[in-house]
Structure 1
Amino acid sequence: MIFKKLLHIRLTTFIVTVALVSLYVSPAQHVQASPAAIGTNARAAALIDVESGRLLYSNNGDTPMRIASLTKIMTAIVAIEHGNLSDTVKTSKRAVGKEGSSIYLQLDEQMNLKDMLFGLMLRSGNDAATAIAEHVGGSEEGFVHLMNEKAIQIGLTNSHFMNPHGLDEDNHYSSANDLAKLSAYALKNEAFAEIVSTKEKRAPNPHDPWDYRWTNKNKMLNMYEGADGVKTGYTKKSFRCLVSSATRNGQKLAAVTINDGDDWADHRNMLDWGYKHFPLKTVVERGNDISGYPLAVGQSFNYPLESEEVGGVESKLVLIDSTSMQYALGDRGYLQFYLNNKLIGSVPVYDSGSTRLSLPNK
């Protein structure tokens, strides 16, 4: 166990919120790592631990830049959250005429939203992006409004979207750090994770006797052990852009490069480096007793830590008012974890014999 010291504070008023009693806090609050040097050929790059949201590496990460079809990460997650995957999407004239990469939809063609999302993410269909936006947002402009609202909600501070496909447009940009945060957010959605990890997809084709067959453009899925996403991108102004993700030993990492002529190699190196230097460490396990109190930890807490940081995690026990409603329901407080005096997460605590300790771990 990596406790350095255990403090406690008894609150006289009820101030515990649901957000605090969770396995992890907002990625924006997580400590950025300061590891051994690593380099890429990219103008900007970032590497994030998906579950914790910890930014493990960043180079020029807060600079707004053109991001090409990495835009479609936002398009997909907004469509999944605001749409119904079984809905039928009808292709408009505006969608059919969209320039750039395409899945070759025809005017008034109908396809369910989930299949169209496969076409969006595997083949980077700009026609699919437009059709999805019009269906989910009522118009492309309405959908773009939802994209920018989501950016604010997630805490993306250097991003602004003007379209759902990523074709170069003034005032359409993001940053490597923002894309890392966005990808970490999106990868926690099961439908999104399923789509971006798919190497090949077949979908009904109303025009020919054979199905559509889409092969994922993301070569990392075949080049890197454990690879499971996410998206490629390219325009003449943005150059090569890539977000990749992989899962090894229960740890999912996502890497981002913008304007990188050797992105496949750089992503392999970044992911290898992340797994080597920042493996998940168990800070506390569910059911562990809290010294000096008849209490036990309600959830396990794991965090990516460099070897020099192991032993440096501090904990603070916060107890809730015994007259509060939450106390009557069985809550006793929460255990906060700090690294370099910054909050990195918290877990609930219960009485040692609480039936909550025997419930399925969430």
Structure 2
Amino acid sequence: TFAKIVDTTRKTISWGSHEYGRSLLNTNRLLRRFDEVDGVKTGYTDAAGRCLVSSMTREGRQVISVVLKSGQMWHDSIKLLNYGFDNFNRIQLAAKDEVIYSARLEALENQRLEMVASQEFATVASEGKEIKVRKEIIIKDNLKLPIAKKEQIGKVTFYVDDELKGTIPLLAKEKLTTKNKFNKLWQWLTNQGPSLTYLK
């Protein structure tokens, strides 16, 4: 994978018809100096000078820095990475399978519908800053029974301080089936297909 490649310090590859391989050395010195650094790439252009995109992972959080035209790109990059960890917090807005919405709906014979987050969703905020989170929930149009467990039936959009952060699908927590006996009979009849004979 890309993450594994950019975290590799040295690699020997086959070299045409040669009996020996060719050794490739990653020029990102930070990989050998700091255990938490796991990428990414050095570079150079006339316009941007010496460049470095670097990545560091600490306690499940990953920070990326980019320096351009830097005379001290190793020092500047580490300083930026540590600044990111020291001055910003990761804030979880939804956990995977967390109930985001719960209500009894008339369209579902007043059964309780519980909608859960399909995945984790998080944002980043400055250290010590209080944020205002708003959720906008949209339920699928013309929702009808039966509903399968984990069926996508809506979506939730997150806003932080009125700024859009993203949208994730909402899934049914449990299976919901009709409790109306006539509806169950009609569903059974319609599922029989053309082989069913109706008597008059």
- The answer (yes or no) to whether the contact 1:251–1:279 under 8 Å persists in 2 is no
SS in 2 for 1:279: strand
Gaps of 5+ in 2: 104-112, 177-200
- The answer (yes or no) to whether the contact 1:197–1:230 under 8 Å persists in 2 is yes
SS in 2 for 1:217: coil
Q: Give the partner amino acid of 2:118.
A: G
Mapping for residues 88-99 of structure 1, pairs under 5 Å:
none
The 1:268/1:205 distance shift into structure 2, 3 A limit, reads same
Give the match for residue 282 of structure 1: 92
Answering whether residue 66 of structure 2 is matched by residue 256 of structure 1, we say yes
Mapping for residues 100-111 of structure 1, pairs under 5 Å:
none
Gaps of 5+ in 1: 1-189, 356-362
- The answer (yes or no) to whether the contact 2:11–2:23 under 8 Å persists in 1 is yes
| Number of residue equivalences | 163
Q: Per-residue CA shift, 1:311-351, capped at 9, x if unaligned?
A: 42221111120258xx7893221111001212101222223
The 1:264/1:350 distance shift into structure 2, 3 A limit, reads same
Answering whether residue 48 of structure 2 is matched by residue 231 of structure 1, we say no
SS in 1 for 2:4: helix
Query: 1 CA distance for matches of 2:129 and 2:153?
Result: 29
Structure holding more strand per residue: 2
Query: 2 CA distance for matches of 1:340 and 1:350?
Result: 26
Give the match for residue 110 of structure 2: none
User: Please, which of 140, 151, 173 is the counterpart of residue 320 of structure 1?
Assistant: 140
The two structures, once aligned, show a CA RMSD in angstroms of: 2.5
Q: Per-residue CA shift, 1:207-231, capped at 9, x if unaligned?
A: 5442111111011112233212111
Quote the sequence identity (%).
28
Query: 2 CA distance for matches of 1:200 and 1:354?
Result: 51
Give the C-alpha shift of residue 291 in structure 1: 5.3
Give the C-alpha shift of residue 292 in structure 1: 4.5
- The answer (yes or no) to whether the contact 2:131–2:161 under 8 Å persists in 1 is no
| TM-score, normalization by structure 2 | 0.70
Query: 1 CA distance for matches of 2:126 and 2:117?
Result: 24
Query: 2 CA distance for matches of 1:306 and 1:262?
Result: 26
Give the match for residue 191 of structure 2: none
- The answer (yes or no) to whether the contact 1:232–1:242 under 8 Å persists in 2 is yes
| TM-score, normalization by structure 1 | 0.41
SS in 2 for 1:290: strand
Q: Which has the higher contact order (CA 8 A, sep 6+)?
A: 1
- The answer (yes or no) to whether the contact 1:196–1:230 under 8 Å persists in 2 is yes
Q: Per-residue CA shift, 1:70-124, capped at 9, x if unaligned?
A: xxxxxxxxxxxxxxxxxxxxxxxxxxxxxxxxxxxxxxxxxxxxxxxxxxxxxxx
SS in 1 for 2:142: coil
Mapping for residues 99-248 of structure 1, pairs under 5 Å:
190=1, 192-206=2-16, 208-235=18-45, 237-248=47-58
SS in 2 for 1:234: strand
The 1:330/1:254 distance shift into structure 2, 3 A limit, reads same
Q: Per-residue CA shift, 1:43-71, capped at 9, x if unaligned?
A: xxxxxxxxxxxxxxxxxxxxxxxxxxxxx
Judge which range, 292-301 or 208-217, deviates more. 292-301
Give the match for residue 157 of structure 2: 336
Mapping for residues 32-71 of structure 1, pairs under 5 Å:
none
Larger Rg: 2
Give the match for residue 12 of structure 1: none
Runs (4+) of structure 1 moved beyond 3 Å?
Answer: 206-209, 235-238, 307-311
The 1:219/1:354 distance shift into structure 2, 3 A limit, reads farther
